[in-house]
Structures are given as C-alpha cells and as structure tokens.
Amino acid sequence: MMVTDIETGTGSLIKNLTCPECGTVHNAEVINTVCVNDACRSTLFATYNLDAGLDKSILLKRPANMWRYKELLPVLDEKNIITLGEGFTPIIPIENLKQFVGDNEVFWKDESGNPTGSFKARGLSAAVSKAKELGIETIATPTAGNAGGALAAYAARAGVKAIVYMPKLTPQVFKDECRLYGAELVAIDGNISDCGKLVNELALQNGWFQVSTLKEPYRLEGKKTMGYEIAEQFNWQLPDVIFYPTGGGTGLIGMWKAFNEMEQLGWIGSNRPRMVAVQSESCNGIVSAFNAGLPVSEFADGGFTIANGLRVPKPYADRQILKVLRESNGAAITISDHEMSAALKEIARNEGMLMAPEGAALWQAFKKLKATGWIEAGEKVLMINTGSGYKYLENIDIY
Ligand SMILES: *Cc1c(COP(=O)(O)O)cnc(C)c1O
Ligand SMILES: [Zn+2]
C-alpha cells in the first residue's frame, strides 16, 4: 500500500516479510498470515531497510509510547496508528528484597501499566493498526486472557469487529472486559489449543483475519519494542540476563529481533543478554525441549495454572523460541503455582507491585538460578513483569 500523502507518512523502513526458516520473501503491502511454503508455514519476520542506518537522536522529541520507534514498525500512514499510550513502561530496581539480590543489579520492566493491564497491548496496537491499514474489517483470536482484552480495546478504537475465543476457566474479569469493549466473546470448554483450532476453522469459513500468536506477522513487531526500550532506557547497554515468562513466546522472539535490528542500525554492539524462558510446571513444553536438546517442543498440558498466559501447550513458534534460547546461551526453568503465588505476595508486600502470576514467577526463577551460580557476581538482570495482578485475584489466595 503506497502512502501518497507524504505529510502523513510514518517513515517506516519496512521492506518485506521474510520467512526465518526457508527464506521465502512475502510482499508486506498485502495481507499475510504465515509462510506460504506448505512445508514450512513458519511465522514471518518483518524485514526493514536498516543498512542506511537511522540516527537515534530522532528519539529525543518523540512521545513516550512504543510508536516512538515508528520507522521500525510496519504501519506506513500515521492516520492508521491505533494507540492508547502503550509502551515506554518504567524500569524499576528491586528495593526491599535486596537480601536475595546480593551483588547483582536486578530490575523489573513493569508492563502492568499498559492499556488493558498487560504487554499484550503492544502487540495488538501494532497488529490492529496494520490490519486497519490493510482494510481488514473482522479480527478473531484465541486467547488465554490478556490478548483478548487487548484485541477488544484496540478493535473498538479502530472501529473494527473483534471476536474472542477464551477458555471457560479463565477468571471472569478477562471475559467481562472483552464484552465491555464490544467484542464478541465465546467461552470454550477447553484450553487455548482448542480455542485455536476453532478460530482456524471459523476464520477460514467466514473470512475473518486471525491474530493468533505468531500466525500473523505484526503482534511480534509491537512486542519487539520492549527490546528497543530496554536498550534506550539502559543507555544502549543491554543487561546480562533477561527473564521472560514464556507462553507463545512473542516477547522473547521479539526482543531478540529488536537487538539484531539495533545492531544493524549501529545503535548497539554485538553483546547480547542471556535469555531465560520461565514456564509453569503444568505446561512445560519449551523447558523440556530445551533441556533435551530438541529443535521443537512436544504438546504439554498438565491442566490448570493460575498463570493462564503460560498455559500454551504447544507454541506455534516453538522452533524460534528454542533458537533464541540457544543462540543467547540462555536457560529454561519451570515454576509451580504455589511458588508463583508466594512470589506474588512477597513482591506485593515488599516492593509495592501487584504482579500477574506470570511476572511473579520470574522472581522465583531468578532466586533459583542465582542459587545454582548460573547468574554470576555483578551481573545486571532484568525481569519482564508482563501484566497486572488485578485481573487474577479470584485465583489468588490472599491470606
Ligand atoms: C500472554 C502473556 C504471557 C506470555 O506471552 P507470550 O508472548 O505469549 O510468550 C506472559 N504473561 C502475561 C501476563 C501474558 O498475558
Ligand atoms: Zn518458510
């Protein structure tokens, strides 16, 4: 889609959509889902013209939201940007739990203040904006909770229809917010994989566009902005270790993509953090595959977890997640619901932050990896608190 009115162009440097597995190049000016190569069907990566460089001083006068990186995002026309102020979230050091931190520097990147209370806002802001630019009228998604609320809000803002498939067992507030934002909410007797199968079939039958995790290219672009922010907020020196609660893996793959783009732009050097994937004990496919040295994960669903965002039995982009963990010399670890719940309370009481159980899990994972010596003296550690705890309270024993 050409932007003829130069006044409203974003300056996006997007070039095409490239398959990271087979290299097939796809035209970014038309609607795409996954790689067209039937033997592949991989997630597509948006590719940008980065070789000419881009001076990072452009950021100085930009608004404090993720669209400050608009040249590195896919939307061509400013008028199509659907924003509710997502991104540029704070980085907050551990203050009162320093006895666990020793001589490490440990920080949270706190995503809980995003619109709809989670970092899903970044992905859906990008995906809904681009869908609007491409003329899409109905967007559907399977969700474990937060993606549905974020889709519903951005779709309301964009004036497009949203249809959300969510497991029945998700706390009520996740369903209520979808309905309040005017989305059609379908509660399913099953897990997110069951929701995903239904959306696949119905999207095909009804001509809906689906934004299921990593089955369209642009939620990844929104979530990668965390990587840009981490570099900018740490004055272009990345931390040594980043902990990430891994469901579908969008944020993990996205941050890694951002680091590579920034190196190409000349904004950072070649140093990379070690990336740590944290999963729930009941849904540990990535951890098992990582520890077994396998290139893809097996279907793993041990049932309910309070961290609904982590109940993804088989991430669509498991191959990419595992590649990032290995390239970064990272690690993968599981945390039980009991541990998450204890961590959530410890952080709330001592640090004044009420986190989603997915985020709180990272604190327990940090303590474990510190105890084994995997985190070394003096290393700088960043944990991504992906969401607010307020939506999860019906499943948290507060006493
Ligand atoms: C979705 C979600 C995750 C997992 O994110 P992925 O990008 O799917 O790996 C983690 N935490 C919260 C709060 C979420 O909503
Ligand atoms: Zn391919």
Q: Name the strand (E) or helix (H) holding 243.
A: strand 241-245
Q: What is the pLDDT of residue 301?
A: 85
Ligand 1 pocket test, candidate residues 119, 166, 257, most atoms within 8 A of CB: 119
Rg (C-alpha) for the chain, rounded Å, is: 20
Distance CA 216, CA 202 (A): 16
Distance CA 252, CA 256 (A): 6
- Residue 230 Cα to chain centre, angstroms: 14
Residues listed for the chain: 399
pTM: 0.97
Q: Is the CB of 388 under 6 A from ligand 1?
A: no
Mean pLDDT by 10 residues, the chain (399 residues): 69 98 97 97 98 93 97 98 98 97 97 98 98 97 97 98 96 97 96 94 96 97 98 98 98 98 97 98 96 96 90 96 98 98 98 98 98 97 98 89
Residue 385 Cα to ligand 1 middle (Å): 10
* 120-210 classified as CATH 3.40.50.1100: yes
Q: What is the pLDDT of residue 326?
A: 98
CATH class of the structural domain 91-118+218-395:
alpha beta
| Nearest atom (ligand 1) to Cα of 358 | 11
Distance CA 113, CA 90 (A): 9
* Tally of helices (H runs) and strands (E runs) in the chain: 10, 13
Residue 277's DSSP bridge partners are 244, 332
Distance CA 321, CA 329 (A): 13
* Strands 14-18 vs 25-26: parallel, antiparallel or unpaired: antiparallel
Distance CA 12, CA 261 (A): 14
Q: What is the pLDDT of residue 162?
A: 98
Neighbours of ion ligand 2 (CB under 5 A): 19, 21-22, 24, 35, 37, 40, 42
Q: Is the CB of 245 under 6 A from ligand 1?
A: yes
Instruction: Give the number of whichever ligand sits closest to the CA of residue 144.
Output: 1
Are 74 and 14 within 8 A, CB to CB? yes
Q: Name the strand (E) or helix (H) holding 162.
A: strand 161-167
For 289, other C-beta atoms within 10 Å of its C-beta total 21
Q: Is the dihedral of CA 124, 128, 131, 136 positive or negative?
A: positive
HSE-up of residue 377 (Cα within 13 Å, Cβ side): 0
Q: Is the CB of 114 under 6 A from ligand 1?
A: no
Instruction: Give the number of whichever ligand sits closest to the CA of residue 17.
Output: 2
Classify 109 as helix, strand or coil: strand
Residue 249 Cα to ligand 1 middle (Å): 7
